[in-house]
Chain A
Amino acid sequence: MTPIRATGRAALGLLRGLGAVALFTGRGLFRLRPFYPRAFAAQLIQIGWLSLPVVALTALFTGAALALQIHSGGARFQASDVVPAIVAIGMVRELGPVLGGLMVAARVASSIAAEIGTMRVTEQIDALVTLSTDPMRWLVTPRLWAAVLTVPFLVGIGDIIGIMGGWLIGTNSLGFNSTAYLSNSWAYLESWDVASGLIKGAVFGLVVAVSGCWFGMRSGRGAEGVGRATKSAVVAAAVGILAANFVLTGMFFE
């Protein structure tokens, strides 16, 4: 096979794969009837509520570390005073959504892929079909919408906790006045900073849920197949989040 033919074949394969994922996402998002409210509520808890501790801890430590970094880096050019503003903007625009999204990817994409993959290899998905239930509507749609709706909330809460992490370090170790730190944080923050982060959260939630569902529904047989699906889902979700973040940041702030 010539290199040109091989390249062309690989490109076609990639496009075919992306098209299939796009169709899968569209079907998962927009074929809503019948809608299963119990399955949706269960996923709101699984994806949203149960991810809160890990996202909160990540945001807390990230905000605190960011405050230390900016303080020590800023000292080189007498700019230590910008710690509150940079922590706030950095958390809300970038670190909150990205790190929150990555933590959700690690926790949720893997669990969705493992759960759906196991259902596939144990014939539970076939059983759904025999019970006149579309697996896309029962398994995929509730997960996609739950992730799209809850991850922005997680990001918002993570933003607040991250800023408070910076405040804790700023006021206890770096000598900032508590009131001044908080007022400086809010003073430089614009509403679009917050909104853009929340929009990123929704997109990252979709990326995570689609990765988990896509690889879970295509899981191979046995424990090895499910393991491979889980690994692929986490890798795809993480790479997808970073790529989407680059694209969205370019769209929002260029």
Chain B
Amino acid sequence: MIAVQGLSKSFGDKTVLDRIDLSVAPGESLCVIGQSGMGKSVLLKCILGMVAPDAGQILWQDRPLDGARRAEFMQQFGMLFQGGALFDSLSVWQNVAFRLRQQMPDQQARRIAIDKLARVGLAAETADLMPAQLSGGMAKRVALARAIAADPRVIFFDEPTTGLDPIRARRINDLIRGIVRSTGATAITITHDMESVRSIGDRVALLQQGRIAWQGPVSRMDAAPELAEFLGHAPQ
């Protein structure tokens, strides 16, 4: 469904992405792992059109993602940001229903937002709170509710468990797994949390020195020598 072909990006002398090839099938959950500064977020921003690649292309449904197709694509994906990126000046429900409010009356958008909040385990009373009143875990859930508010076909997760304690991180992983499975959405997750990979990924790709050093099913990653450093143990 989504493919990256020969994607390259440099900043000055530093090559961040070097002829990357990746593809994600419909309904598949791909986790991209790698150390900090290895270009994971740049890869994501290239796919989303926020950073222009130096070379290569993004394909969506086997056709290049440019012009009008990008506008169509932008309507069909959701994104969970590392820090939540909730709009401070809007209440929780207004954040969740941000896109919906441009398409339908507020009352209807609010109802859908409250449904989505329930989907991520938040009570309806949360709807009128402001982002500053939320804990880190709640803010992440609200951001997750916003990401799924318009029933996207593709969901991007950027470091979904960063900054959370292990218990909250596990809850977020469980929520993401449940949402991805129940909606059948394609998921691309950028992370360095191997618990997240095991919990939500079908397939994993290791980004190293700007290249994909290894990719394969999550079930085979324990045997991959390239991932030993990440896993913290020798290949099994």
With an 8 Å Cβ cutoff, the count of chain B residues facing the other chain is 22
Q: Which residues of A contact B87 (CB under 8 A)?
A: 119, 124, 127
Nearest-neighbor residue (CB-CB) of B48 within chain A? A130
- Are B83 and A123 in contact, with the CB atoms below 8 A? yes
Query: B60: CB under 8 A from chain A?
Result: no
- Are A126 and B74 in contact, with the CB atoms below 8 A? no
Q: Report the minimum CB–CB distance from A203 to chain B (whole Å).
A: 27
Query: B1: CB under 8 A from chain A?
Result: no
Q: Which residues of A contact B99 (CB under 8 A)?
A: 131-133
Assembly CA distance A124 to B98 (angstroms):
12
- Are B83 and A130 in contact, with the CB atoms below 8 A? no
Which of B71, B77, B102 contacts A130, CB < 8 Å?
Answer: B77
Q: Report the minimum CB–CB distance from A126 to chain B (whole Å).
A: 6
Query: A122: CB under 8 A from chain B?
Result: yes
Query: A129: CB under 8 A from chain B?
Result: yes
- Are B98 and A123 in contact, with the CB atoms below 8 A? no
Assembly CA distance A4 to B48 (angstroms):
44
Assembly CA distance A127 to B66 (angstroms):
20
Residue-wise, chain A 34-45 has the 8 Å CB interface mask toward B (1 for contact) of: 100000001000
- Are A123 and B81 in contact, with the CB atoms below 8 A? yes
Q: Report the minimum CB–CB distance from A143 to chain B (whole Å).
A: 12
A42-B50 contact, Cβ under 8 Å, with A126-B81, A132-B75: no
Q: Which residues of B contact A119 (CB under 8 A)?
A: 87-88
Residue-wise, chain B 169-204 has the 8 Å CB interface mask toward A (1 for contact) of: 000000000000000000000000000000000000
Q: Report the minimum CB–CB distance from B92 to chain A (whole Å).
A: 14
Q: Report the minimum CB–CB distance from B81 to chain A (whole Å).
A: 5
Interface members, chain A 88-128 (any B CB < 8 Å) = 115, 118-119, 122-124, 126-127
Q: Report the minimum CB–CB distance from A204 to chain B (whole Å).
A: 25
Assembly CA distance A126 to B156 (angstroms):
13
Interface members, chain A 139-160 (any B CB < 8 Å) = none
Q: Report the minimum CB–CB distance from B212 to chain A (whole Å).
A: 24
Assembly CA distance A122 to B78 (angstroms):
18
Query: B236: CB under 8 A from chain A?
Result: no
- Are A34 and B102 in contact, with the CB atoms below 8 A? yes
Interface members, chain B 125-150 (any A CB < 8 Å) = 146
Nearest-neighbor residue (CB-CB) of A34 within chain B? B102
Assembly CA distance A126 to B79 (angstroms):
10
Assembly CA distance A130 to B154 (angstroms):
12
Assembly CA distance A110 to B34 (angstroms):
39
Q: Which residues of B contact A124 (CB under 8 A)?
A: 85-88
Q: Which residues of B contact A115 (CB under 8 A)?
A: 89
Assembly CA distance A66 to B86 (angstroms):
48
Q: Report the minimum CB–CB distance from B50 to chain A (whole Å).
A: 6
Q: Which residues of B contact A126 (CB under 8 A)?
A: 45, 50, 81, 85
Q: Report the minimum CB–CB distance from A86 to chain B (whole Å).
A: 44
- Are B89 and A42 in contact, with the CB atoms below 8 A? yes
- Are A132 and B74 in contact, with the CB atoms below 8 A? yes
Q: Which residues of B contact A132 (CB under 8 A)?
A: 71, 74-75, 99
Q: Which residues of A contact B48 (CB under 8 A)?
A: 129-130
Residue-wise, chain B 87-128 has the 8 Å CB interface mask toward A (1 for contact) of: 111000000001100100000000000000000000000000
Assembly CA distance A51 to B82 (angstroms):
35
Q: Which residues of B contact A42 (CB under 8 A)?
A: 89
Q: Which residues of A contact B83 (CB under 8 A)?
A: 122-123
Interface residues of B (CB under 8 A from A): 45, 48-50, 71, 74-75, 77-79, 81-83, 85-89, 98-99, 102, 146
In the assembled complex, 25 residue pairs joining A and B whose CB atoms fall closer than 8 Å, in A order, are A34-B102, A42-B89, A115-B89, A119-B87, A123-B81, A123-B83, A124-B86, A124-B88, A126-B45, A126-B50, A126-B81, A127-B79, A129-B48, A129-B49, A129-B50, A130-B48, A130-B74, A130-B77, A130-B79, A131-B98, A131-B146, A132-B74, A132-B99, A133-B99, A133-B102
Given contacts A34-B102, A129-B49, 12 further A-B contacts (CB under 8 A): A115-B89, A122-B83, A126-B85, A127-B85, A129-B48, A130-B74, A130-B77, A130-B78, A130-B79, A132-B75, A132-B99, A133-B99
